[in-house]
């Protein structure tokens, strides 16, 4: 439980009492379960919002809640990634830009576009809405595990995130990804589509990060989470009605 709570404390702004011991590998391993907890909060909130407002308004409120629950943690990484990787900058220049706390025009544009896509997609989910809202955040945070496993830390030992790359993840460390995968089966063919989109988007982003920086950083992981959420919400709203 300490590792699970520490994982939630690390990737969310949910008040969970005293800080738990810092265990980098334990935090990473529990990303899927922490994502499920965030998704459950989102799905329960949506039940209330959907009973009061039309789907498009409920979708906007859901996306706003998701940003609030995570403390815009991943959105900040998305903005920094967009600023750093836009154009044909050299690797070190891109890393320096991502480390800058200021947000540029490209960062603002990309964040706005991703939020718009998520809002439209969430508002359009008609089948298995509760389940979809619960498992998509878990899938998105599972993608971070894959990124950490297959790519080296781009900033080396001097980076603040180096501790999360010191102990390699083994196959058994991915066991909790089984939770959203099993739950996705209850979405029928949309569950299959969800898993295909998850695999394709994760592979595409890892390929892009490898090509651009030959590694990954905390900002890139945050960007991966936000983009995966947008892509997966699009996957589960395909076809509209039941």
Q: pLDDT tens digits for 3-43?
A: 899 998 888 888 887 888 888 899 999 999 999 999 999 99
In the 3-class helix/strand/coil scheme, how is 2-38 assigned residue by residue?
A: HHHHHHHHHHCCCCCCCCCCCCHHHHHHCHHHHHHHH
Say if residues 30 and 144 touch (Cβ distance below 8 Å).
Answer: no
pLDDT of residue 242: 45
Q: How far is Cα 137 from Cα 120, in angstroms, rounded to an integer? A: 16
What the block records as the tokens of 66 is 């998701």
Residue-wise pLDDT tens digits, 49-84: 999 999 999 999 999 999 999 998 899 999 999 988
Q: What is the pTM of this model?
A: 0.92
Q: Which residues contact 158 (CB under 8 A, 6 or more apart)?
A: none
Phi/psi at 69 (nearest 5 deg)?
A: -65, -35
C-beta neighbour count of 109 within 10 angstroms? 13
Identify the three-state secondary structure at position 1: coil
Q: How far is Cα 214 from Cα 151, in angstroms, rounded to an integer? A: 7
User: What is the arithmetic mean of pLDDT over 97-119?
Assistant: 89
Residue-wise pLDDT tens digits, 182-197: 999 999 999 999 999 9
pLDDT of residue 240: 66
C-beta neighbour count of 21 within 10 angstroms? 8
């Amino acid at each position: 439980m300490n590792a699970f709570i520490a994982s939630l404390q690390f990737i969310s702004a949910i008040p969970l009492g005293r800080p738990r011991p810092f265990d980098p590998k334990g935090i990473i391993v529990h990303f899927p379960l922490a994502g499920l907890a965030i998704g459950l909060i989102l799905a329960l909130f949506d039940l209330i919002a959907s009973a009061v407002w039309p789907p498009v308004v409920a979708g906007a409120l859901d996306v706003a809640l998701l940003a609030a629950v995570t403390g815009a943690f991943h959105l900040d990484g998305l903005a920094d990634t967009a600023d750093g990787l836009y154009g044909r900058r050299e690797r070190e220049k891109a890393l320096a830009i991502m480390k800058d706390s200021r947000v540029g025009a490209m960062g603002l544009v990309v964040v706005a576009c991703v939020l718009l896509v998520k809002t439209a997609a969430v508002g359009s989910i008609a089948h298995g809405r509760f389940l979809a809202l619960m498992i998509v955040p878990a899938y998105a945070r599972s993608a971070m595990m894959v990124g950490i496993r297959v790519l080296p830390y781009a900033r080396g030992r001097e980076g603040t995130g180096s501790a999360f790359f010191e102990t390699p993840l083994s196959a058994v460390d991915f066991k909790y990804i089984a939770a959203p995968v099993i739950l996705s089966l209850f979405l029928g063919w949309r569950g299959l589509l969800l898993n295909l989109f998850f695999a394709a988007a994760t592979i595409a982003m890892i390929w892009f990060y490898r090509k651009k920086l030959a590694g990954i950083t905390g900002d890139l992981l945050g960007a991966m989470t936000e983009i995966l959420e947008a892509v997966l919400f699009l996957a589960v709203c395909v076809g509209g009605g039941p």
